[in-house]
Amino acid sequence: MESPARPALFDFHGVWMTCRYTGNWDALQTFQARPDDILIATYPKAGTTWVSYILDLLYFGHLSPERQKTVPITERVPFLEVTNPGLPIGTELAEKLLTTPRLIKTHLPVQFVPKSFWEHNCRMIYVARNAKDNMVSYFHFARMTDLLPEPGDWTCYFQSFLAGKVPFGSWFDHVNGWWRKRRTYPKLHFMFYEDLSEDTGREIDKLCSFLGLSPSAEEKTEVMSGVKFDSMRNNAMTNYSTYPLMKFDVSPFMRKGQVGDWKSHFTVAQDEEFDEDYKKKIDPTLHLRTEI
Ligand code: PPS
């Protein structure tokens, strides 16, 4: 597929967005959620695919081996707001999903989530990743796909990210917004990439308790093995190798999967500037770990 021109950023109700995520806005805002839908929400590059695949295996790992080999994660867990050129529209993919529950992915800031998800009191899972690693991962992703605006070099991207001038806006607003929502919306399970990396089994147990699932020990072992970084990197259904418009020679989708990779990117001066800004912007009750 021919690569489209990189989209421009624009201010969309106070959040920097591109037409790839706003192009279907009316249908998105009137999307009809079902009470048993599960919404997986994250800031981009915070572990969406990891948690999506955990949920997919927990619910549907027993379905046909054919499905496991032939249906990519992007079709099992549609990206609700996406409208990429030449590819299925997110809302339409979600409407056509045959699984129950439907697992749906979004990067929307909390204030943009279609209202029927709230009206139906749907379960939601938010994954947060520490801002430094999140920034590094987003930078490499922007380099490898023309679906995102040109990131510039690392120095330039560092400033854009701090200013929130990247698609889906400020990391701080996103994470703070979802974190605060959890105080008034009990059906929101908030989790951290770093916790998942530290102890995947423990985090799967917490997820199961939130979802009311009781996998057997054998099923849990299978999920744990399937969602390891190397397993997902080597699995064509989860490594995005079937998704067009990605330049894997520039950077793989499943890149490093580490906590603390930011240390190989941040200069000492950037680290100081970042920490100063972070203190001012982060919700003081929210604690993210930049190393484990
Ligand atoms: S996207 O495009 O927003 O949906 O990307 P997302 O899936 O949120 O984030 C991609 C990063 O998550 C890492 N990842 C994992 N890390 C550890 N273990 C597993 N199983 C795993 N699966 C995905 C992926 O490698 C990207 O992070 P980086 O730091 O770039 O490697």
Q: Whole-model pTM above 0.85? A: yes
Per residue in 84-132, pLDDT tens? 888 999 999 999 999 999 999 999 999 999 999 999 999 999 999 999 9
Other residues' Cβ atoms within 10 Å of the Cβ of residue 143? 17
Strand order in the sheet with 123-128: 103-106, 38-42, 123-128, 188-192
257 CA from centroid of ligand 1 (Å): 6
45 CA from centroid of ligand 1 (Å): 6
Other residues' Cβ atoms within 10 Å of the Cβ of residue 92? 12
pLDDT at 1 over 70: no
Integer-rounded Cα Rg, in Å, for the chain is 18
Amino acid, res. 142: A
C-alpha dihedral (256, 222, 235, 61), degrees to nearest 10: -130
119 CA from centroid of ligand 1 (Å): 31
Distance CA 173, CA 282 (A): 8
Joined together, the tokens standing for residue 6 give 């990189």
Do the Cβ atoms of 141 and 148 come closer than 8 Å? yes
13 is an active site residue:
no
pLDDT at 146 over 70: yes
Catalytic residue among 13, 107, 140, 265: 107
Strand 15-17, strand 10-12: pairing: antiparallel
Query: Of all atoms in ligand 1, which is nearest to the CA of residue 240?
Result: 2
- Report all structural domains of the chain as residue ranges with CATH numbers, in order of start: 24-281 (3.40.50.300)
Per residue in 202-255, pLDDT tens? 999 999 999 999 999 999 999 999 999 999 999 999 999 999 889 999 999 999
